[in-house]
Amino acid sequence: MTLEEQVSLLAGVDHWCTTPVPRLNIPSLKVTDGPSGARGVGTLVGSKPTAAFPVGIALGSTWNKALLREIGVHLARETLDKGAAVLLAPTMNLFRSALNGRNFESYSEDPYLTGALGVAYVQGLQSSGVAATVKHFVGNESEFERSTISSDIPERALRELYLRPFEMAVREGGAWAVMTGYNRLNGTYCSQSPRLLGDILRDEWSFSGLVMSDWGGTHSAGASVRAGLDLEMPGPAKARATLLTEALKDEETRKAVRVAAKNVLRLIERTGMLTRPLDVSGEAERATEYPDTRSLIRRAGAEGAVLLKNNAVCGAPLLPLPAGVTVAVIGPNAAVAQVMGGGSSQLNAHRRVSPLEGLRDALGEANVSHAVGTFNNRYLPILQTPIHIEYLGQEGEVLATEIRLGSEVMWGILPAGIAADSFRARLTLTLIVPEEGTYDLSLFSAGLSRLSVQGKEVIDNWTTWQPGETYFGFGSDEIRERVSLDSGTYVVVVDFTPKVHDNGIAAFSAVRIGFQQPSPPTDFEDAVKLAGQADFAVVCVGTNSDWETEGIDRQGLTLPGDQDALVSAVLSANPRTVVLLQTGGPVLMPWLDDAPAVLQGWFPGQEAGHALADVLLGHVDPGGRLPQTFPARLSDDPTHPELPDVQYPGSAGHVEYQEGLYIGYRHIDRHALTPLFPFGHGLSYTTFSLGEVQVTTHEFRLDEALQVTVPVTNTGVRAGQTVIQLYVSSPDSRMARPWKELQAFEKVSLNPGETQDVLLELNFRSFAYFDDIQNVWVADPGEIHLLIGESSADARKLVTIRIMTQI
């Protein structure tokens, strides 16, 4: 290859594809977002339909490695249907803070659980020839100033917590690609850190795959290539626009370009694209819905649901709901299917089944009543109506037109001849007002916009535009106006033009029009009354993709709006009430003492309503166990706004990981706190007992493997699942360590009366810590406690062994 051809491979040709080299028959390699589906080239709201899988935290709740591997296989098929051979997934960052807006994408607060599930996901995906891209490497644990902030992480915490899942995905999973984080790590951008990409990833872990930047996350030409960043995305090259010139002048840069080009070619070869290149055009993307994938998503959604509480009412546990009863389904998340979070993981799901639909399908429509009671949306909902877009020239002439569905538009591929950074557009939709009354209209945009109704300007977001929290920080905040309208039809027009941002990231253009009639005061009371008239009530509360999204962090742990008041009122009206929570992380529950049953449903993918109904009605056992500690109060979280800003969310361009090793349950143990619900917690519809634990040796030498066998018996009358968790405690360690650390787990499914021996395997790394003085992994000789149970607060079995030698 010529040097020019080599350089061309090191930046994308467009938003999703690498640059082809026609002379040598080297095709474009197409990538697609991940991690909960394969979106294709479309925008976050305008892509072709595709399968929506449970989000990361819901999959983390399954604690099921075999299931994650199976999901990886199905995601590979979805990816290939979109003409892509690389999926930008899985997300391997940890839950350092409960307020991270992107926690829903990741698996867990624990590095071993995250790594083990990530390994399975990677292996399943790559078994079908689709590359996994483990991200965001490393230290992207919040969204605050994520493009520039320096995550200042102590070495032991970096090695033992934040790097470990990536290490497992690379060394055990064999990941073919890694995506660097936007952030800096201890002062240096991850995308150009020689230590991170060279010393650790390449040399220590023997990574032979491709390293790509996050979108717009490349900050230099030759320096980033020399550091070990192979591919700048998206393209065409921006940070690397001068790379060829630099390479012609500098031999070291030329050598680095050659290595990076080989890494790009190796990924094209590994995915089979040299011999069977895919059609990477958006027109060739398929939107096939597969019955076996739909079934898998339903099963996975149910297996990730966590039964937090299930007290007896009239002598029997409230759940599962009995047959032949009437159920009132109440709340803002009842008839609206919350299947995913917001941001780059968004996609156009084949289906969106709500809890109301799922329960009506299972119980019959006549047995299920419904009321909303209150709203929980952060922004006014969009209108599902056609919107006509005209692209205008300098004199107002129409250059091109298109029609899209829905009152939110994100621009990706524009009509031919329309400049992405300077176009003008006029968007027109017809608003149907069913009855005379007061309504709310809203507008926000990444770009300048203004909205008029029947020719009269209502919202000016053009002359008064200010940056806000929408659209990854490129958009304004929402502007709302209340208008009085008669019944009938109205023409709504929005004028739009891009706003170019000088921040090193490609311009982003989008606009959203919201519309809603304010809720009458009687809605709350009517919902409570309806709940009291049914045999059982299911109150569906939580958040949605407005609140849980890439680009901004959560504002607290309280449910939005007056949902807590709705839950309390429904509990007072009907003692047989189940609280169904759908959030991307923990929330406070001031009504918990009064609630007999609480089910955490997360965002479980397109079959949400069916999966949750399966659990509520006892068709399947609730298979989920918490992958994240639910703190009793925000101040019990290891990082929260009451602490110095430099620890969270950050100050003066730095966020200091002052808590070190102590996040999640490690923090709970260190400070002797009582969580709302502990890490690993989850109830079943049956009960289990653990027998006598056996180990292959009580005198362990670190060049061997240790096998731990735990007999588990289903002592109830129903089939069910549990997760056997093994934590290691090292009281004789030379350096300070958390009181216990998860080092092995297995999920087991048992019929009534059945017993199974569960095998847990440990090795040197299960007992080791990172000695940041000697820069080596160490396991000190001495006593080790193996704590075995069904949650981090349940160490019902204790086995003591002794490490005999140090290596």
pLDDT at position 412 over 90:
no
Could you report the per-residue pLDDT of 747-791, keeping only the tens digit for each? 999 999 999 999 999 999 999 999 999 999 999 999 999 999 999
In DSSP terms, 630 is beta-bridged to 677
Taking residues 566-575, what's their average pLDDT? 98
pLDDT of residue 717: 95
pLDDT of residue 526: 96
Task: Report d(CA 5, CA 221) in Å as an integer.
Answer: 16
Distance of CA 767 to the CA centre of its chain: 30
In DSSP terms, 403 is beta-bridged to 388
pLDDT of residue 118: 98
Taking residues 74-97, what's their average pLDDT? 98
Name the 3-class secondary structure at 432: strand
Paired sense of beta strands 694-695 and 184-185, if any:
unpaired
Phi/psi for 241 (5° steps) reads -60, -25
DSSP secondary structure letter of residue 549: B
Assess whether the region 3-43+51-274 and the region 291-375+521-652+661-670 belong to the same CATH fold.
no
Superfamily for domain range 386-516: Galactose-binding domain-like (2.60.120.260)
pLDDT of residue 542: 98
Phi/psi for 78 (5° steps) reads -60, -40
pLDDT of residue 640: 82
pLDDT of residue 506: 47
pLDDT of residue 230: 98
Could you report the per-residue pLDDT of 712-735, keeping only the tens digit for each? 999 999 999 999 999 999 999 999
Question: 206: exposed, middle or buried (C-beta count within 10 Å: 0-12, 13-18, 19+)?
Answer: exposed
- Closest of 191, 317, 215, 789 to residue 599, by C-alpha: 317
Residues 42/16, Cβ–Cβ less than 8 Å: no
pLDDT of residue 504: 44
pLDDT of residue 401: 96
Tokens 């895919």 locate to 278
CATH architecture observed for domain 688-803: Sandwich (2.60)
Could you report the per-residue pLDDT of 496-540, keeping only the tens digit for each? 999 876 544 446 899 999 999 888 878 999 999 999 999 999 999
Name the 3-class secondary structure at 23: helix
In DSSP terms, 426 is beta-bridged to 390, 495
Task: Report d(CA 728, CA 741) in Å as an integer.
Answer: 5
pLDDT at position 557 over 70:
yes
Q: Where are the alpha helices (DSSP H) in 234-290?
A: 243-249, 251-270
pLDDT at position 495 over 60:
yes
Could you report the per-residue pLDDT of 156-183, keeping only the tens digit for each? 999 999 999 999 999 999 999 999 999 9
Residues 500/294, Cβ–Cβ less than 8 Å: no
Q: How far is CA 403 from CA 163, 318, 350, 420, in A?
A: 46, 50, 20, 18
Taking residues 383-408, what's their average pLDDT? 94
- Among 294-298, 398-402, 416-420, 427-431, where is mean pLDDT lowest? 416-420
CATH architecture observed for domain 3-43+51-274: Alpha-Beta Barrel (3.20)
Residues 797/695, Cβ–Cβ less than 8 Å: no
Phi/psi for 236 (5° steps) reads -65, 165
Q: How many CB atoms lie within 10 A of CB 516?
A: 17
Task: Report d(CA 320, CA 307) in Å as an integer.
Answer: 11
- Among 88-102, 285-299, 460-474, where is mean pLDDT lowest? 460-474
Could you report the per-residue pLDDT of 283-315, keeping only the tens digit for each? 899 999 999 999 999 999 999 999 999 999 989
Taking residues 121-126, what's their average pLDDT? 98
Residues 4/244, Cβ–Cβ less than 8 Å: yes
The residue extents of the domains of the chain are 3-43+51-274, 291-375+521-652+661-670, 386-516, 688-803
Task: Report d(CA 533, CA 328) in Å as an integer.
Answer: 8
Identity of the amino acid at 104: F
- Closest of 643, 730, 792, 666 to residue 161, by C-alpha: 666
Query: Euclidean distance between the first and final Cα of the chain, in Å?
Result: 46
Residues 607/352, Cβ–Cβ less than 8 Å: no
Domain 291-375+521-652+661-670 has CATH 3.40.50.1700: yes
Catalytic residue annotation = 214
Task: Report d(CA 706, CA 767) in Å as an integer.
Answer: 11
pTM over 0.75: yes
What is Dmax (Cα atoms) for the chain?
Answer: 84
Per-residue tokens: 13: 């040709």
pLDDT of residue 362: 97
Q: Where are the alpha helices (DSSP H) in 271-342?
A: 291-304
pLDDT of residue 806: 53
Residue positions counted in the chain: 807
Average per-residue pLDDT for the chain:
96
